[in-house]
Chain A
């Protein structure tokens, strides 16, 4: 099973990203997915987590992921050394930041700059999704784009698809 944890702040769209990834993966046959947020009080700006589990057989365990293949941070103020505790042995972190992090387990992307250019808003959920697609190879880019169309309101489609493409190229370098 492939397990992805999404870290964000309320309003940054972490659960939306978890859902779009699940929808994208489910576009292939014989796939099983669970996508859910951490169930707790929700406030704008407060740290929240969301989870995506991907497999080729039914998934029975509905509890929160404790060890991830990928742990994704939409906001680098949420990132700390503790992040490594929730990784599987070969697990990786994808971090939205302008900083350079010297650790082979961490992939960084300047999502804020891509967001500013394509969305005009500091919302990086679909950007980190594009980065995950490039780094992990779990889901083809076309499936992510189709899932964006199915999940988001139509007025957001083209901007977000452009942002996903840009992040996919940037992270794939």
Chain B
């Protein structure tokens, strides 16, 4: 391995190169642009042998990746925000077709008002599309996730496309020290893509077909169980990853100082680093607080969340999205997990970081302070409603 100083986008591109996708189809959009630029440089300089297809839109980018996957090629694409929404028609297509495409999404606000900065409304609006959804915290995790995503998506029991999310700018454009594995190590970790779900002259079959009312439910049930199978496959991939690269990951969630915590803040993505620091400083002052970081939104870690918060007095969710007319989507999902597990404690939703707005250390300290009141509430950070 070699230490390198890379941005989140660059780190992800290095991870994709190690995975050797045979086809990359992409259309540039801020703040995703650098990942596909970097990959095009790798193809140009010969360090990645891949068919790089510069398509005319995001809709075509994913359609093209589906075509590649349907002949058994490992396929990659990347997008962000309006680009993800423009390819929305193709998302359930790829999932229902069981094409294990990997896509990086640079989390960015959705219009209007027009805004190029980071929040998670783009990917969270597509939770029901049938894709695996993971959220990286830092550039190292982004690189490692790039490599692991192909292993998980392509596993026979999963065969489902994978959306790896990086917070726009704060993660995609920030430079960090990253360990870049060698190609030899990566090859040891990730086997070549093999699938029965492809067009073949020797084993001809029908792909992309219709399924009427009598059979449709069975396909959807299989699609659902494929996603549920991700959990054991993540565990398998991470233990294999650790044995080769020495870095540990903790499955669908990461819990930090939650064991004896009275108040736990649940979040996802790059803001978790700041929350972890605040947890440490409040712990130093004797406060029993903890962090639960959601690493995978689909499949949703119902059991992991219930287990981590079962002894807490109150739980907060900090998320960069809002499902207008209701509440943050992460909050809805967390409440469902607690209800199913019979855990009845106050939960509060904090909607912050919209359109790239900074979330300050003081705001996170304040959230923990408010959780002590043990009342449920839905709030927008930085907006006082009287």
Contact = CB atoms under 8 A, between A and B. Distances in A.
A63 interface: yes
Interface of B: 3, 5, 117, 138, 169-171, 173-177, 270-277, 356, 358-361
Interface residues of A, number: 20
B174 A35 contact: yes
Contacts of B173: 36-37, 39
A26 B175 CA distance: 11
Contacts of A19: 5, 175
A80 B99 CA distance: 58
A62 B117 CA distance: 14
B169 A39 contact: yes
5 contacts: A31-B177, A39-B117, A60-B276, A61-B274, A64-B358
Nearest to B116: A39
A60 B356 contact: no
Contact of A63 (B171, B175, B274): B274
Nearest to A66: B360
B5 A34 contact: no
Q: Which 6 A-B pairs have the closest CB atoms?
A: A60-B273, A36-B174, A35-B175, A23-B5, A60-B277, A26-B177
A95 interface: no
Contact of B177 (A33, A37, A60): A33
A63 B277 contact: no
Given A23-B5, A32-B177, A35-B174, A62 B274 contact: yes
A31 B271 CA distance: 21
B274 A22 contact: no
Contacts of B275: 60
Nearest to A41: B116
A19 B177 CA distance: 11
A78 interface: no
Contacts of A33: 5, 175-177
A59 interface: yes
A23 B271 CA distance: 23
A62 B175 contact: no
By secondary structure, the A interface counts as mixed
A26 B274 contact: no
Given A33-B5, A36-B170, A39-B356, A22 B361 contact: no
A81 to B, nearest CB: 24
Interface in A40-72: 58-64
A63 B171 CA distance: 11
B357 to A, nearest CB: 11
B356 A34 contact: no
A34 B174 contact: yes
B5 A63 contact: no
Interface string A122-145: 000000000000000000000000
A68 to B, nearest CB: 16
Contacts of A34: 174-176
Interface in A1-42: 19, 22-23, 26, 31-37, 39
A35 B7 CA distance: 9
Contacts of A150: 5
Contacts of B171: 62
Nearest to A61: B274
Contacts of B356: 39
A36 B176 CA distance: 9
Contacts of A23: 5, 175
Nearest to B356: A39
A39 B7 CA distance: 14
Contacts of B176: 32-35
Contacts of A62: 170-171, 174, 270-271, 273-274
Given A37-B173, A39-B356, A61 B361 contact: yes
A93 to B, nearest CB: 23
A39 B358 CA distance: 10
